[in-house]
Amino acid sequence: MNRVYIKTYGCQMNERDSEAVASQLAARGYRIVRREEEADIVLLNTCSVRDQAEQKAIGKMGYLAKRKRRDPDFIIGFMGCMAQNRGAGLLDRLPDVDLIVGTQRFHHVPDYLDRFREARETGVPVPASIIDLDEETGSQNTIREHLPDRRKVSAFVSIMQGCNMACTFCIVPKTRGSERGRPIDDIVREVEELAARGTREVTLLGQIVTSYGRGEIPPIGGKSPFVQLLERINAIDGIERIRFTSPHPRGFNRDLAEAYRRLPKLCEYVHLPLQSGSDRMLRRMNRPYSRKKYMEIVNELRRNVPDMYFSTDIIVGFPGETEVDFRQTCEVFEEVGYDMAYIFKYSKRSGTPAAEMGDQVPADVKEARNRELLGILEKRSNRRNQELVGTTQEILVEGPARKGPYFTGRTRGNRVAFFEGSERLVGELVTVNVDRATVSSLYGSLALAGVDA
């Protein structure tokens, strides 16, 4: 009764939350297993950003419920954003679910599973379904544990929870609550512990990560709390690379743009969500910037780091999006020259203003616009990778590739690279001569003198 499998849907925040829960469970004596077939307990950490993610989680839980009917001791539960959003309503469709835990109560999961396990072992009546969706002051400080027996070359570090924005398409403020940041010293201590265990790259996480500390930590010397945090982490021995996600354009003031030039460990890769290149659509989305302002940010970043890599988020088919609006998005897409993009077809999220808007775009139009942007992205990504052929790139070695005789790692620009190597190089920075490239990957050979594959 102590083998747990956690399946995660959605973003890096959810991945980090799942890891923290797994670590807390391991500290209680639970075994974290890699296959659901091996588990006595299966938890689904859910996402509500898109309907498709919710439907996948509901479908998976329906499948698990069939097993529970054959094995009443089997425990199944929902965690995360969909659990927070739908709450007890999930039991109307899935009455066999044992546990529904919201986004601010992850750290109570071990207590609840202990209650189920104690009931099984003592023969007392099993508790009814447990539902915990309460808000909790300080919950942002509970996502700090990492699995102790797994060395991670690259690790996620949650620095805040919640969102104070009011984008008309987004359910996150409802599911994650208002912005709450962790103390800088606590975050630095976590990163120092990771570095001591062999982590070489950290990715700082927040719903709007660049809002970190706003209204809680005063600016110093014109530097925002987020830039102050970046400086502290840049000074930690053992950490070689720093990334962060997901920001908001309004967080990119001059101090952050200059940080890319000043801080050698801050990788020259930035995720800068656009959502739309149409000012009219941006107003309907309640995104507080214009196309002009967005391009000013891009240009400021490139002034500081000419070879900056850019990724973005785009929504196609937002209510009321005309062909003219979409063409303006294509223009920005081409002008920036994104190296990576997450392109989403708009889907209604109940409880958001956009779900009630008129002028919903037909599915076939959304699909055509999605394909067109993906085509632009593929050409740009392939061209950028081909430009790297014949160059040498610094690679952080992550481990063996899933297929073939290769090892794999990433460039500072977040491009995946494959090369012949050995286990002793895992966690090391190596130089690779790039000799060929595809749309998504680089291939090459070790270039440093005296380094054996």
Q: How many domains does the chain have?
A: 3
Within this chain, do residues 176 and 287 fall inside the same structural domain, yes or no? yes
Tens of pLDDT along the chain (453 residues) come to 789 999 999 889 999 999 999 999 999 999 999 999 999 999 999 998 888 889 999 999 999 999 999 998 899 999 999 999 999 999 999 999 999 999 999 999 999 999 998 887 787 776 789 999 998 888 898 888 888 767 799 999 999 999 999 999 999 988 999 999 999 999 999 999 999 999 999 999 999 999 999 989 999 999 999 999 999 999 999 999 999 999 999 999 999 999 999 999 999 999 999 999 999 999 999 999 999 999 999 999 999 999 999 999 999 999 999 999 999 999 999 999 999 999 999 998 888 999 999 899 999 999 999 999 999 999 999 999 999 999 999 999 999 998 878 999 999 999 999 999 999 999 999 999 999 999 999 999 998 644 555
Within this chain, do residues 148 and 90 fall inside the same structural domain, yes or no? no
Cα 53 off chain centre by: 14
Within this chain, do residues 162 and 201 fall inside the same structural domain, yes or no? yes
What is the domain-level CATH number for residue 52?
Answer: 3.40.50.12160
Q: Which residues are bridge partners to 205 per DSSP?
A: 158, 245
Residue 332 falls within a domain, yes or no? Answer: no
Within this chain, do residues 162 and 299 fall inside the same structural domain, yes or no? yes
Could you report the per-residue pLDDT of 105-132, keeping only the tens digit for each? Answer: 999 999 999 999 888 778 777 678 999 9
Task: Report the C-alpha gap between 378 and 384 in whole angstroms.
Answer: 10
Task: Report the C-alpha gap between 248 and 287 in whole angstroms.
Answer: 9
Which of 110, 132, 154 is the last residue in one of the domains? 132
Cis peptide before 246 (omega within 30 of 0): yes
Task: Report the C-alpha gap between 295 and 277 in whole angstroms.
Answer: 10
Residue 369 falls within a domain, yes or no? Answer: no
Could you report the per-residue pLDDT of 199-227, keeping only the tens digit for each? Answer: 999 999 999 999 999 989 999 999 999 99
Residue 400 falls within a domain, yes or no? Answer: yes
| Host domain of residue 399 | 392-446
Within this chain, do residues 182 and 160 fall inside the same structural domain, yes or no? yes
Task: Report the C-alpha gap between 182 and 189 in whole angstroms.
Answer: 11
Half-sphere exposure of 22 (CA within 13 A, CB side): 25
Phi, psi of 146 (to 5 degrees): -125, 150
Which of 113, 132, 151 is the last residue in one of the domains? 132
Residues 6+ apart with CB under 8 A from 63: none
Question: In 3-state terms, what secondary structure has residue 348?
Answer: coil
Residues 6+ apart with CB under 8 A from 28: 110, 114
Q: What is the pLDDT of residue 51?
A: 81
Give start and end residues of each alpha helix (H) in 320-359.
Answer: 323-336
